[in-house]
Amino acid sequence: MTSIKQPNSLHCFICGMENPVGLHLHIYETGPGEVESTYLAPEHFQGYPGVLHGGIVGAIIDELSGRTHMGSDPHNPRFMVTAKMEIKYRRNVPIGRKLKIKGKAGKTKGRLAEAWAGIYDAETDELLAEGTTMLIDLPAGTFDRSILGELGWKTYPD
């Protein structure tokens, strides 16, 4: 399967293209239930000197795991929210160094789904942090899905 770019939003902290303090990640579906992204964390997201803040690490894992069940159709995405997340911080995640982030879908049962995501050093392929999530479908009526484009949900160019 060729990589298919997933849509982004305007203001999401992780993928929002117009969020002035966001990460602006571009996420690609690389296979059924599999997604990838890359990221170079800037200094202003550090916790300790040279280390990406653990909360940002968790937010990235949360987003990529949720994206595994979303699909790439901008008109009919499966929007989910995290009900439970467990993160394993294996190594310090560096700032100023290219990271590769992967996510894989797990089992789905009704409105619930499981997923995994991991952050790797892009040069060494070492797993730095990983997490598993339990996701639940976003409740119907949370927002008007018929105007996703107007809400900024679309595929933005790289």
pLDDT tens, 80-115?
999 999 999 999 999 999 999 999 999 999 999 999
What CA–CA distance (Å, rounded) separates 67 from 44?
Answer: 25
DSSP assignment of 129-157 equals: EEEEEEEEEPPTTSS-GGGTTTTT-B---
8 A C-beta contact, residue 29 and residue 72 = yes
Q: How confident is the model at residue 1 (pLDDT cuts 50, 70, 90)?
A: low
| Mean pLDDT value across residues 33-53 | 97
Q: What percent of the chain has pLDDT over 90?
A: 80
Question: Does pLDDT of 72 surpass 80?
Answer: no
Q: What is the pLDDT of residues 29-39, one digit of tens each?
A: 999 999 999 99
Question: Does pLDDT of 78 surpass 90?
Answer: yes
| Mean pLDDT value across residues 2-21 | 93
Q: All domains of the chain, ordered by start, with CATH?
A: 4-147 (3.10.129.10)
- pLDDT confidence of residue 74: 76
Single pTM value for the model: 0.94
Mean pLDDT across the chain = 94
- pLDDT confidence of residue 156: 84
